[in-house]
Amino acid sequence: MMKILLINVVFVFALLFSSVLQAQETVKFAMVGLSHGHSPWFFEWGKSEEMELVGVYEPDESLSQAFCQRYDLEETLLYTDLQRMLEETQPDGILVFGAIVDHLEAVKVAAPLGIHVMVEKPLATTLEGAREMAQLARENSIHLLTDYETSWYPATEQAYRFFDEQEADFGQIRKMVFHHGHEGPKEIGVGPEFLEWLTDPVKNGGGAVVDFGCYGANIMTYLMHGEKPLAVTAVTRTYKPETYPEVDDEATIIVDYMSSQGIIQASWNWPFNRKDMEIYGEKGYVITKDDEQLRYRIKGSEESQMKAVATKVDIETNPFEYFRQVIAGERVPDGFSPYTLENNLQVMEILDAARRSAERGERVVLQE
């Protein structure tokens, strides 16, 4: 009888230990803002069993109610006061998906509470704001990451690996050309809550130059292993002033490095959605078509095509899972990889220089 009792006690303790371990592995998330068009990603495919949604902050109650109905959320999750939500729900990390201008305030509230932050691209509306966010993150020892759709493209990672791991075959990078954008936010039918701030020079920091210029700057910084550019030259235009009276809808940014050049073509005037790039080295090139398809050629050989395949070990395809792993200590953001604070501070330097160059009509030198 005593033996059976002992076995039962051990079994109960094993179950309790297992429950505690499982609870420790679950990361608590809160959404901060829902107005960004990418915010549904978390609810539709990003959330996993290891993630618990503990709160949703959104000052527009009609928008939060719409999300409640669409994704069957409990109304008890909803808050219109950010400080109160964070203090009451105590999330491990927050996902900031509102206007870009609100990123700084979210970090100001979350960082002192030790809450990690992932913002939707770009990091901030201004370089000064980005630096203040970085200082808050470092002072409070939190992770501050930036999410880009193209960060989790298998084709992006494969292109990086070709030049990083097979430099003898492809040679040093000489030119990078990025085509990012679509027909325009109004033309593709983004929600009114998104369009309102996306076309506001203060709330978004600019038009296409920010919205899609950041993609190329982000990948470029990754490909160049964080090398600081020498100078930036940019031209911005508004071809549809009747639609976008306050911001640019077209931007071309030239980023000069010591031994290479990057060209970013950010546009709300493409005939269709584009997120592709061309990378040319001394001995070969890689051209991506979309998130998976790419073609490449090495000098002396014929062009080849391939489909880049994501693997759990090598290529992360879910930004929310990446963030969970970082919070849980399972993954450490690496150097100048696309999500990192170091990368995105440099992205903000490039965007800041691009806006100044376009305004002044001159080349902006970042370092002699």
The helix (run of H) or strand (run of E) holding residue 252 is strand 250-256
pLDDT at 23: 43
Walk along the chain (368 residues) and give the pLDDT tens digit of each residue.
Answer: 444 444 444 334 434 433 333 444 799 999 999 999 999 999 999 999 999 999 999 999 999 999 999 999 999 999 999 999 999 999 999 999 999 999 999 999 999 999 999 999 999 999 999 999 999 999 999 999 999 999 889 999 999 999 999 989 999 999 999 999 999 999 999 999 999 999 999 999 999 999 999 999 999 999 999 999 999 999 999 999 999 999 999 999 999 999 999 999 999 999 999 999 999 999 999 999 999 999 999 999 999 999 998 765 445 689 999 999 999 999 999 889 999 999 999 999 999 999 999 999 999 999 87
Encode 35-51 in three state secondary structure.
CCCCCHHHHHHHCCCCE
pLDDT at 311: 64
Q: Please list the helix, strand and coil fractions of the chain in percent, rounded to the nearest 5, in that order.
A: 40, 25, 35
Q: Does a cis peptide bond (omega within 30 degrees of 0) precede residue 122?
A: yes
Superfamily of domain 26-147: NAD(P)-binding Rossmann-like Domain (3.40.50.720)
Q: What is the pLDDT of residue 235?
A: 98
Classified by CATH at the fold level, domain 150-316+338-365 comes out as Dihydrodipicolinate Reductase; domain 2 (3.30.360)
* DSSP notation for 212-227: THHHHHHHHHHHTTTP
Q: pTM value?
A: 0.91
DSSP for 70-86, please give it: HHT--GGGEES-HHHHH
CB atoms within 10 A of CB 334: 11
**Whole-angstrom distance, CA of residue 254 vs CA of residue 264:** 6
Pairing of strands 116-120, 144-147: parallel
The SS3 assignment for 32 reads strand
Could you tell me the residue ranges of all domains in the chain?
A: 26-147, 150-316+338-365
Q: What Å distances lie between residue 79 and 14, 36, 119, CA to CA?
A: 38, 17, 19
Confidence at residue 310, expressed as pLDDT on a 0 to 100 scale: 73
pLDDT of amino acid 246: 98
